[in-house]
Structure 1
């Protein structure tokens, strides 16, 4: 019999009150506290909830918190990728790493975004770039990872920038 763990943020996130960094932090604390005691599917569900919150935060970061919101997005993707790699689901792990990196590159290149969000995306893209390289080192080449690394490098090439 498995204990049902309800995320503390489960009732706090609704279309009326939106997401906040404190809700994201609460979800992440919950999964860190319970991840060893609950089935992996429950941990996966909580990590996915954190990722949804992080996407909402990046979509509308509170004033002065763009870097924190981008960091939440990166951490959420990296945690999901780590959990899936631990399960041996390397395709899903690679997909999350690529999604994180590609999202940051798109945010950086999107001239409609606030400059603080663009700068945060560029700073954090180093972390996702390293995570992609580490994935290759640990698990061998993966076509999604190769594509994401190549596209990121091309998109950030100062001599010939291309839309990503």
Structure 2
């Protein structure tokens, strides 16, 4: 795939090719290369494409690859967030980190999902939780992160999160 095609994709653009882990790996590799080469717009588009592919993979993971698909989702969100921080905008990274965590918590609690996916989502949510805490430690308080942590805690432990 040409770099230009990646750059033309919107964040939630449908994936033209059938989503697969190799397709995700290609998109991620291109985004990382673009980021390393300081081609920020191209890197952003690549991470958005990788996220789009990863989201599709979560809906229909290949047999025996559920954990890999969830890892792809987390890596996509976290690399994209890291790019936003590197661009000097840690506030733009916070929603990405929150979405990663919130998605995994929702998947882990979704009784309509297969148990292996639910277990893997809960397992990976530890990593997204650490990323949220690390972001707070490095960049100070952020209301979205505070709320995401409280909401996840309430959802996982059956308490109600007070929202004001």
Q: Same fold (TM over 0.5)?
A: yes
Q: RMSD in angstroms over aligned alpha carbons? A: 2.0
In the other structure, the counterpart of 1:40 is 40
Contact 1:7 1:46 in 2 (8 A): no
In structure 1, C-alpha distance between the alignment counterparts of 2:116 and 2:159, rounded to whole Å: 20
Q: Point out the structure with the larger helix share.
A: 2
Distance 1:74 1:154 in 2: 22
Show CA shifts across 1:25-60 (max 9, x none): 111122223322252011100111000000000111
Q: TM-score, normalised by structure 2?
A: 0.86
Q: TM-score, normalised by structure 1?
A: 0.86
Matches within 5 A, 1:2-21: 5-6=3-4, 13-14=15-16, 17-21=17-21
- 1:161 Cα deviation after fit: 5.7
Q: Report if aligned partners of 1:7, 1:30 keep a CA contact under 8 Å in 2.
A: no
Equivalent residue for 1:114?
114
Give the count of matched residue pairs.
153
Q: Which runs of 5+ in 2 are unaligned?
A: 9-14
Q: Distance in 2 between matches of 1:161 and 1:6?
A: 48
For residues 63 and 42 of structure 1, what CA distance do their matches in structure 2 show?
Answer: 32
Question: In 2, distance between residues paired with 1:123 and 1:64?
Answer: 16
CA distance in 1, matches of 2:5, 2:116: 31
